[in-house]
Amino acid sequence: MAGLFHLRRYGATIARQCLLQRGSSRLRSPHASACGLHTSAVLDRVVSFHLSDIGEGIREVTVKEWYVKVGDVVEQFDNLCEVQSDKASVTITSRYDGKIVKLHHDVDGIALVGKPLLDFDVEDEQEDDSSSSSSSSSDEEEPSAKVEQAAAGGQAAGGKVLATPAVRRIAMENKVDLTKVPATGRNGRVLKGDVLEFLQVIPKGTVKPHPSLVAKPSTKTVTAQPAIDLRQAETVVPLKGIAKSMVKSMTDALKIPHFAYCDEVDVSRLVTVRAQLKAEAARHGIKLTYMPFFLKAASNALLQYPILNSSFDEAAESVVYKSYHNISVAMQTPQGLVVPNVKHVEQKSILQIATELNALQERGAKGALTPNDFANGTFALSNIGIIGGTYTHPVVITPQVAIGGLGKTRVLPRFDDEGRVVAAHIMVVSWTADHRVIDGVTMASFSNLWKQYLENPNLLMLGAK
């Protein structure tokens, strides 16, 4: 069909070429038909319209509806079809003026980005080819003429702007001088979109230049950089000591299903009590921090909830209750983070706990902690607040079943019993427990009792050893 279309449209031109090339006497020869009735792809000026990238990483779309059919003549920006991606529906518009000669997909067919969507018989290219072959003399001058046209920015050798009648009509109606319109068509032809863009009807940059007009990037010689061996910038340090043992302990600990519970504690009264006792403790050579109070409150609460002072025997699937309270305390040393424990907290007073804590810290600073300092821990507290941070999620130290993380104490506004806003010392505690053994109710009940001891520190004195 395309061949017959071209034959009907360009039959006169074909005949004129044959007359000029062969002479009137040769038209009656057996070879005349081979020249005048040629319908091969040489005359079939078909351009494939490819589906452009519509963004969002979409690589394929479904054709929902065609607005054109084979044989329709369309102009630039006419609607061609509607496609549907997994994110949006998009209307595809024409890039060319011409006749539709093929639709590559049926309705509900899958179209790939960058692949042909339909084929055009483009009028601009056909007219350009036919006008350039009007005579034998023009055939000989065609290469130089095209170069002059491109150099003139869309003007032919005689100074006439290359444009279709439809484009000239739009320019005339809007009083536009086509010589001032930047051309993006083939061989510098002014397209309909160029005029619309010049009139600011469509956004600037909507019409893309023909590939023949796009300047090819200059090829510059890039000096190859020598390959850098990144291993020369790396330092390999084998783990040893505390760091090596932490790998094993933390790997084992994270096999445990952890359960977390957080609450805040008003330690305003504890701040006052500690300030009152600090000087007396210093007189005995004891540095009194808040940690002895936290340990003693935990020990008193463990007496009510002994399951938190137990260990889980996974092989026997049983819980081992401990009557002794060896509470582990995380502390930073030059060798790294260590977790020794204070033995038999249930039998010691606050000052005795403070004395043993001081001794552990001194040995830790000197790297003189012994295996006995770490043995048989039953419960754990980690005071991350002395470094910073409010909330944490400590990891249970196997075979223990619970640990508490203490956040930084901050002065915050709170309401007192009479509804007045007062400054309160608030500390957040984050508990973590082995959920195979400890349930949420038990952890919350233990936390409430521990909190009660710290918010009313005089209660600790009632059970002091």
373 annotated active-site: no
Displacement of CA 333 from its chain's centroid (Å): 39
Q: Is 439 a catalytic residue?
A: yes
DSSP labels, 23-84:
-GGGGGSTTHHHHHT--STTT--EEEEEPPP-STT--EEEEEEES--TT-EE-TT-EEEEEE
Whole-number Å distance between alpha carbons of 330 and 167: 83
Phi-psi region of 159 (alpha: psi -120 to 50; beta: other; left: phi over 0): left
79-84 β-sheet, strand order: 89-93, 79-84, 60-66, 110-112
Distances (CA, A) of 399 to 193, 315, 326: 77, 12, 13
Distance of alpha carbon 111 from alpha carbon 82, whole angstroms? 11
50, 258, 344, 435: which is the annotated catalytic residue? 435
Residue 187: closest CA among 161, 216, 223, 220: 161
Contacts of 290 (CB under 8 A, 6+ apart): 267, 270, 274, 383, 409
Q: Write out the two tokens for 225.
A: 């950089």
| Contact assessment for residue 171 and residue 163, using Cβ atoms and an 8 Å cutoff | yes
Gap between the Cα atoms of 146 and 167, Å rounded: 21
Look at strands 98-103 and 318-321 and give their pairing.
unpaired
Which ranges of 305-415 does DSSP label H, i.e. alpha helix?
350-366, 371-374
Strand order in the sheet with 73-74: 46-50, 116-122, 98-103, 73-74
Closest CA to 117 of 144, 91, 88: 91
Rounded Cα–Cα distance for residues 399 and 249 (Å): 10
| Cβ contact 186:124 at 8 Å | yes
Decide if 350 contacts 296 (C-beta within 8 A): yes
3-state SS class at 181: coil
Helix (H, G, I), strand (E, B) or coil at 462: helix
Q: Contact at 8 Å (CB) between 162 and 128?
A: yes
With a CB cutoff of 8 Å and minimum separation 6, the contacts of 23 are none
- Supply the residues annotated as catalytic: 435, 439
